[in-house]
């Protein structure tokens, strides 16, 4: 009781001290529900007993949770001041106890203070727009602040935000905006942040806190509230029941960004991109619920529903003004297939004199699987392996000479799918080894004989290729079955299981959410692991991302690399004899490839800017930098082939309009998105060329052999 009273005094005192003329109205205080407190306790019981690296919920872990919580709320240290941290630190060791006692007052108090501070900071940012800035001064803004100290005082914080707003202003000014437009854009931007803070719910606060707990144990254990768990399930089965429209929040409206071909919205002929949804009714005669100002996920929840039921949308047409007449559109909900997230195939031709080599490329965004449908015995359940097998069959009809599996930015998914996908390219055998918390090792194998493709194979990966992607790439490499091309992968070598907390608690309705818990570590069949080190490609491409900033090595509590005994497997081939020739041909080609050279320049510039972590606020200096960058890019433009774009993370000064997502005209955004998709992919093209080289080298021999042991080809339906 005394602890609660002291906490109440602290909240009241900080509210008084934090109240400034710039803050505006504070968001309402969030409180935890009994269900959230119970879910926290249940999750703690499971994690302390069954996690791969089970850690007692003691004071030491509580302190790590506290640090992770602050990092999640204020990663760049732009909201809390040191005095806040000092006062909050009194509860550093009490967060574990709070969960076990089912009393979340302390973590919710921290979140409420964060919301107050965020409201104050953006309120102050808006107040700075009244007077403008002097861009002749020589000062800079440190935008990379993860390793910086917390601002000591409110005066230090205000100085930080003054520079932040000045940087936003200067960026728009350099993009050609006048002062009046800049004030309008930034005022609206900061106001949108304030509105977003006001729409935060207790479920958001709870999920943030719970993920601070889970990530304090290991980077890949996480908690998902019921709505987040539903979204995860949708992404795995690639389908949902709805109207078939991609929606986004634009200027406070739920706006149709895209219509899914074949969906109810598109087939109705009454809706188009840019139309705004202002109301939703359930059934033809249902009352219309006003969704203006509602969070996008809340509006989506109203639009989705049971199969073959009616939903009525109140629409403000794209071309209409705010006060124009609305129209009602009645739709029947249907099952929508998310084809954009499914595997896709394309054929790339390499012309060399009179010889044309054809390489089939299969892009796989994730290892999806409709687990529920499979468990029910559905014959047509959706899975990554089934889709890839079908696409391989289509590519064989196209008479391709080689196949490239593009796993760039594929963060993983189903372990079963990783094993079965590997089975399309090897003739039976182990794929991955697992070691559980008791140290027991099991071997997961492909048990189906035959292969879907027995020709030259490549796997393209980057730093965003993780988990199931790494299992697949590692197995293909260990078997000598194909070339691994690209950047070193993420380095995630752990296995997670989804635990439905409501099922454990025997709840009739979803209340507690789900826990994704690390239960094992996986190892390659050669005995090594992808943990921390990832998969090292046979042919390396330049990388714009440092392992210290993205990947398993960037986590301070990642499991170390380890090794166990190799599994009993028979290599399917040996590419070591071919590799030196392929590397020579690759190096020779990229030295002459103007697009590849410009990409390397982009990457070097991007790394340099990230390393600096700060930017000048002097207009003359920034314009000078901009001219130098434009000259470099213009030089690349004259050297590159038509239609080539570059994938620099920093972007280009020539195209920087100073705007953030959601601030641009929808038609302009869609046009830019279309242009980006149709632009040349330099790294993919080079990976295709490498496979083309392999086809030629293996065909001509040159004293080199790949010794690929081919199994019977699977008949694909």
- pLDDT bracket for residue 537 (50, 70, 90): very high
> Per DSSP, what are the bridge partners of residue 250?
253
Q: Is the pLDDT of residue 689 over 50?
A: yes
Given the residues 492, 602, 616, 640, select the one marked as catalytic: 492
- pLDDT bracket for residue 237 (50, 70, 90): very high
Please give the pLDDT value at position 699.
Answer: 83
Scan for tokens 């830019």, then name that residue: 672
Please give the pLDDT value at position 702.
Answer: 52
What are the backbone dihedrals phi and psi of residue 63, each rounded to the nearest 5 degrees, phi first?
Answer: -65, -35
Q: What average pLDDT score do residues 184-206 get?
A: 96
Q: Is the pLDDT of residue 3 over 50?
A: no
Please give the pLDDT value at position 673.
Answer: 81
Please give the pLDDT value at position 24.
Answer: 62
Query: How many C-beta atoms surround the C-beta of residue 117 within 10 A?
Result: 21
Q: Tens digit of pLDDT for each residue in 42-56? A: 999 999 999 999 999
**Spatial separation of the C-alpha atoms in residues 312 and 425, rounded to whole Å:** 48
| Element containing residue 349 per DSSP (H, E) | strand 344-352
Domain 339-573 falls in which CATH fold?
Answer: 2-enoyl-CoA Hydratase; Chain A, domain 1 (3.90.226)
Q: Is the pLDDT of residue 646 over 70?
A: no
Q: Return the ∠ at Cα 253 (arms to 208 and 341), rounded to 5°.
A: 60
- pLDDT bracket for residue 205 (50, 70, 90): very high
Burial class (CB in 10 A: 0-12, 13-18, 19+), 189: middle
Q: Tens digit of pLDDT for each residue in 480-507? A: 999 999 999 999 999 999 999 999 999 9
**Spatial separation of the C-alpha atoms in residues 577 and 609, rounded to whole Å:** 40
Known catalytic residue at 478:
yes
- pLDDT bracket for residue 233 (50, 70, 90): very high
**Spatial separation of the C-alpha atoms in residues 254 and 387, rounded to whole Å:** 33
Please give the pLDDT value at position 16.
Answer: 32
Q: Is the pLDDT of residue 403 over 60?
A: yes
Known catalytic residue at 13:
no
- pLDDT bracket for residue 12 (50, 70, 90): very low
Q: Is the pLDDT of residue 173 over 60?
A: yes
Scan for tokens 């752990």, then name that residue: 494
Architecture of domain 239-337: Roll (2.30)
* CATH 2.30.42.10 domain locations along the chain: 239-337
Please give the pLDDT value at position 2.
Answer: 38
Q: Is the pLDDT of residue 588 over 70?
A: yes
Q: Tens digit of pLDDT for each residue in 538-576? A: 999 998 888 778 999 999 999 999 999 999 999 999 999
Q: Is the pLDDT of residue 518 over 90?
A: yes
516-to-248, 252, 299, 513, 528 alpha-carbon distances in Å: 27, 33, 26, 10, 25
Given the residues 467, 469, 489, 648, select the one marked as catalytic: 467
Known catalytic residue at 676:
no
Are the C-beta atoms of residues 498 and 514 closer than 8 Å to each other?
A: yes
Give me the chain's average pLDDT, please: 90
Instruction: Give the end-to-end CA distance of the chain in Å, rounded to a whole number.
Output: 68
Q: How does DSSP classify residue 58?
A: S
Q: Tens digit of pLDDT for each residue in 428-481? A: 999 999 999 999 999 999 999 899 999 999 999 999 999 999 999 999 999 999
Which of 55-69, 312-326, 408-422, 697-711 is least confident? 697-711
Q: Is the pLDDT of residue 401 over 90?
A: yes
Given the residues 91, 275, 406, 478, select the one marked as catalytic: 478
Please give the pLDDT value at position 607.
Answer: 83
Q: Tens digit of pLDDT for each residue in 329-368? A: 999 999 999 999 999 999 999 998 888 999 999 999 999 9
The Cα diameter of the chain in Å comes to 86
Q: Is the pLDDT of residue 210 over 50?
A: yes
Q: What average pLDDT score do residues 625-629 get?
A: 87
Choose between 706 and 623: higher pLDDT: 623
Are the C-beta atoms of residues 366 and 413 closer than 8 Å to each other?
A: yes
Question: Beta 310-316 vs 327-332: how paired, if at all?
Answer: antiparallel
- pLDDT bracket for residue 23 (50, 70, 90): low
Q: What average pLDDT score do residues 118-141 get?
A: 96
Q: Is the pLDDT of residue 635 over 80?
A: no
| Element containing residue 329 per DSSP (H, E) | strand 327-332
CA 357 centroid distance within chain:
35
Percent of the chain with pLDDT over 70: 92
105-128 and 2-18 are packed helices; what angle lies between their axes, rounded to 10 degrees? 0
* CATH 3.90.226.10 domain locations along the chain: 339-573
**Spatial separation of the C-alpha atoms in residues 386 and 362, rounded to whole Å:** 13
- pLDDT bracket for residue 11 (50, 70, 90): very low
Q: Is the pLDDT of residue 155 over 90?
A: yes
Are the C-beta atoms of residues 232 and 372 closer than 8 Å to each other?
A: no
Q: Is the pLDDT of residue 638 over 70?
A: no
């Amino acid at each position: 009781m005394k602890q609660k009273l002291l906490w109440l005094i602290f909240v009241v005192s900080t509210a008084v001290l934090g109240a400034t003329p710039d803050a505006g109205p504070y968001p309402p205080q969030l409180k935890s529900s009994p269900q959230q407190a119970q879910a926290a306790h249940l999750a703690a019981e499971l994690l302390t007993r069954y996690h791969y690296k089970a850690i007692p919920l003691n004071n030491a872990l509580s302190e790590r949770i506290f640090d992770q919580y602050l990092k999640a709320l204020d990663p760049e240290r732009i909201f809390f001041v040191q005095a806040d941290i000092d006062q909050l630190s009194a509860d550093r060791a009490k967060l574990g106890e709070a969960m076990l006692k089912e009393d979340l007052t302390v973590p919710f108090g921290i979140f409420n203070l964060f919301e107050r501070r965020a409201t104050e900071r953006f309120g102050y940012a808006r107040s700075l727009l009244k007077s403008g800035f002097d861009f002749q001064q020589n000062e800079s803004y440190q935008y990379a602040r993860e390793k910086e100290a917390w601002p000591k005082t409110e005066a230090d914080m205000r100085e930080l935000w003054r520079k932040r707003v000045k940087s936003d202003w200067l960026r728009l000014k350099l993009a050609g905006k006048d002062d009046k437009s800049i004030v309008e854009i930034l005022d609206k931007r900061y106001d949108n942040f304030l509105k977003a803070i006001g729409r935060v719910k207790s479920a958001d606060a709870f999920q943030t806190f719970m993920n601070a707990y889970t990530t304090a144990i290991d980077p890949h254990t996480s908690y998902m509230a019921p709505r987040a768990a539903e979204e995860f399930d949708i992404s795995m089965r690639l389908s949902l029941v709805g109207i078939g429209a991609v929606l986004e929040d634009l200027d406070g409206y739920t706006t149709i960004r895209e219509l899914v071909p074949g969906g109810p919205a598109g087939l109705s002929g009454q809706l188009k991109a840019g139309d705004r949804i202002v109301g939703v009714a359930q059934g033809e005669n249902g009352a219309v619920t006003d969704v203006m100002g509602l969070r996008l996920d809340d509006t989506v929840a109203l639009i989705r529903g049971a199969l073959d039921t009616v939903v009525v949308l109140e629409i403000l047409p794209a071309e209409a003004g705010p006060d124009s007449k609305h129209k009602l559109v009645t739709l029947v909900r249907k099952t929508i297939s998310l084809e954009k997230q499914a595997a896709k195939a394309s054929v790339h031709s390499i012309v060399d004199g009179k010889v044309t080599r054809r390489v089939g490329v299969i892009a796989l965004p994730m290892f999806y699987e409709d687990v529920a449908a499979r468990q029910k015995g559905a014959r047509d359940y959706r899975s990554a392996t089934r889709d890839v097998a079908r696409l391989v069959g289509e590519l064989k009809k196209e008479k391709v000479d080689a196949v490239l599996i593009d796993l760039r930015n594929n963060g993983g998914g189903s372990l079963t799918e990783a094993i079965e996908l590997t089975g399309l390219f090897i003739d039976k055998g182990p794929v991955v080894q697992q070691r559980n918390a008791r140290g027991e090792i099991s071997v997961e194998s492909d048990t189906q004989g035959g292969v879907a493709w027995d020709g030259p194979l490549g796997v393209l990966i980057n730093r965003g290729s993780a988990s199931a992607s790494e299992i697949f790439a590692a197995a293909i490499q260990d078997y000598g079955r194909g070339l691994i091309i690209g950047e070193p992968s993420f380095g995630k070598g752990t296995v997670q299981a989804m635990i439905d907390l409501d099922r454990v608690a025997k709840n009739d309705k979803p209340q507690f959410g789900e826990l994704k818990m690390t239960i094992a570590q996986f190892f390659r069949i050669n005995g090594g692991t992808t943990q921390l080190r990832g998969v090292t490609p046979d042919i390396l491409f330049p990388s714009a991302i440092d392992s210290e900033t993205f990947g398993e090595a960037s986590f301070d509590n990642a499991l170390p690399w380890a090794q166990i005994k190799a599994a009993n497997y028979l290599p399917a081939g040996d590419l070591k004899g071919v590799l030196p020739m392929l590397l020579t041909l690759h190096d020779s080609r990229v030295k002459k490839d103007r697009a590849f050279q410009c990409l390397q320049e982009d990457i070097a510039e991007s790394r340099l800017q990230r390393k600096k972590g700060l930017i000048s606020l002097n207009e003359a200096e920034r314009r000078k930098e901009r001219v130098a960058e434009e000259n470099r890019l213009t030089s690349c433009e004259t050297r590159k082939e038509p239609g080539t774009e570059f994938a620099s993370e920093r972007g280009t000064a020539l195209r920087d309009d100073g705007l953030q997502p959601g601030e641009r005209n929808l038609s302009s955004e869609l046009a830019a998105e279309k242009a980006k998709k149709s632009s040349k992919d330099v790294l993919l093209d080079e990976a295709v060329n490498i496979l083309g080289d392999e086809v030629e080298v293996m065909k001509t021999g040159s004293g080199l052999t790949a010794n690929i042991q081919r199994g019977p080809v699977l008949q694909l339906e």
